[in-house]
Amino acid sequence: MASRQKTKQKFPDFIKIRQWLNFLKSYLVAWFAVSTLALKRLLRTIANHKNLLLVLLLLLFLTIVSFAAIVPSTHTFEGNIISQEMAFTYIGEESKLFLKNIQGINELENKGRQTITFTGNFQSETLPQLNQLDSLKIQLKDSESRWIIAPANPQDTSEISVEELRLQPNTKIAGLSYDFYRNQLAFSLQQNSNLKQKISPNTLDLYLGEQPIKVIIEGYELPDLKLPNQPDNQIQLEFIVNPNNKKLNLEIAQNTNIYITLAKPPKYESEQWFREEIKTENVKFIYVDKPGKDSKDDLKISTIVEGKIRMAEQERDIKQNQFLMGEDADTPLNIQKIRHLEIVPKKGIEARFSGKTKKIQIGLDPDFPVSQMQGSWLDGVLPRDAIIALFSFGAATIPNLVSWLFSNTSKLGPKP
C-alpha cells in the first residue's frame, strides 16, 4: 500500500514533465515554421530585388572586416632594451656557446660546488705541504664555497681568459649584469633539477697563461692530500701555482655564480663576447629585492635603462624603470629569441630580441600599465593605414546600410 501511495504521489510529476515536453515540441515546430516562412520571404525579396542582395553582401563584407580589425591576434614583435640586469632560460635542443674570448681577466671568481685540479709547481704560506706537490685536487663542497684566480703579480698583464662557456638546454642565466665601477661581468648558472632526464653539465674552458697565478679557496676539501692534521676548510687557503695545464676545463653540474673582473673597461671587444641567436623563455628585466624570508615582502624592481619595442607597425619607447609585460602583469613578455647581447658603456647590457604575443604592456607599475600595443587579425594581412581607412569606412557605412535595409524591406513584399 505504501509503495502504491508513493507511486501516485510521483505520477503527477511525470504528467507535468510530459506536458512541458509537448509544449516545447509545439513551440519548436512553430518557431521553425515561422523562420522558414521568413527566410523564404527574404529569399524571394532578394531574388526580385538585386539591389537588396548587393547591399546585404556589402554589409556582410564590411561587418567581417570591422570585426577582423578589432579582434586581437598573435603577432611577431621585436625590440632592443638596455638594462642593468636581466635573466633568461636557454631552451635550445643542443648545447649553446654563450661566452667566448674574454681576455685580460684581472680576477675570476666562481661560487658553488666544483671540483678543480691544478698541476704544476706550488707555493703556499698558508699550507706549506703544498710546496712538495705537483698536482692538487680541490673539492668545493657547498653553495657557499668559492675559488678565485688572478695573476700572481698584479703588475703583469693578465693572460687569463675565458675561451668559452657552453650552456646546456634548460639552463637559466640569472643576474646577468656588468658593473662599470669594478669592470665586472656577473651572472649565475642554474640548471633545472626537476627534469626526469639526466642533466649534462655546463662547461667552462679557461686559459691560464704562461705566468704564475694566485689561487684563493674557501669552503674546500683536499681529498688526495694525506696529512695528520687536516686544515680547517673554513680558513681561506691561498697559494701560487705555475701551471703545467695551461688550459682548465671545468664541468659545472650544480648552480654556480661567476664573476669576471677585467683589467680595463671593455670596448669593441665586448661585442664579440656573447654569441647570437639564443632561444629563450622567461626573459626578465627585473631585480627582486628580498628583505626577509617571507615572499610577501619581496619587491620587484625594473632594471630597464631605455629601449624600444615594435609590433604590427606600432612602436613604443620604454623609459627608465618601466616594466615590460605580456598579456597580464604577472606574465613576462614572450621573448622567444635573443638575437644579440652587448655591453653598452656606462649604461648596461643591450639585448635585441624577438617573439610573438597578443599584447604588450608598458608602465612604471605592473598593475597599472600606461601604454599598450595590440595587433588585430587584419594587421597580419594589410598595412595599418589601410586598416584604419577601411575600418573608418565600415563604421560610417554599416549604419547607413542597415537603415536602408529596414526602410526598403518594410515597403517590399514578395511577388506571387
pLDDT tens for residues 65-119?
Answer: 666 666 777 889 999 999 999 999 999 989 999 999 999 899 999 998 888 999 9
d(CA 185, CA 261): 6
Residue 108 in contact with residue 148, Cβ under 8 Å? yes
> What pLDDT score was predicted for residue 161?
93
Q: Of 235, 263, 291, which residue sits at a domain end?
A: 263
> What pLDDT score was predicted for residue 72?
77
d(CA 99, CA 103): 11
d(CA 391, CA 127): 80
Q: What is the mean pLDDT of residues 345-365?
A: 93
Pair (311, 362) in one structural domain: yes
Pair (291, 179) in one structural domain: no
Pair (259, 130) in one structural domain: yes
pLDDT tens by residue, 241-287:
999 888 999 988 778 999 999 988 877 666 689 988 999 999 999 99
Domain presence at residue 89: no
48 pLDDT tier (thresholds 50, 70, 90): low
Q: What is the mean pLDDT of residues 333-343?
A: 93
Q: Of 213, 229, 263, which residue sits at a domain end?
A: 263
Pair (333, 235) in one structural domain: no
414 pLDDT tier (thresholds 50, 70, 90): very low
d(CA 167, CA 251): 11
The number of domains in the chain is: 3
Domain presence at residue 380: no
d(CA 324, CA 307): 10
- Tracing cell 542597415 back to the chain, one arrives at 402
Pair (56, 78) in one structural domain: no
Domain presence at residue 57: yes
> What pLDDT score was predicted for residue 88?
96
295 pLDDT tier (thresholds 50, 70, 90): confident
Pair (240, 319) in one structural domain: no
2 pLDDT tier (thresholds 50, 70, 90): very low
Range of the domain at 14: 2-71+385-409
Pair (326, 257) in one structural domain: no
Domain presence at residue 99: no
> What pLDDT score was predicted for residue 183?
92
pTM attached to this predicted model: 0.77
| The three cell numbers locating residue 34 | 515561422
Domain presence at residue 95: no
Q: Is the pLDDT of residue 36 over 70?
A: yes
| Of 78, 137, 147, residue with least CA distance to 356 | 78
Pair (130, 46) in one structural domain: no
Domain presence at residue 275: no
Q: What is the mean pLDDT of the chain?
A: 81
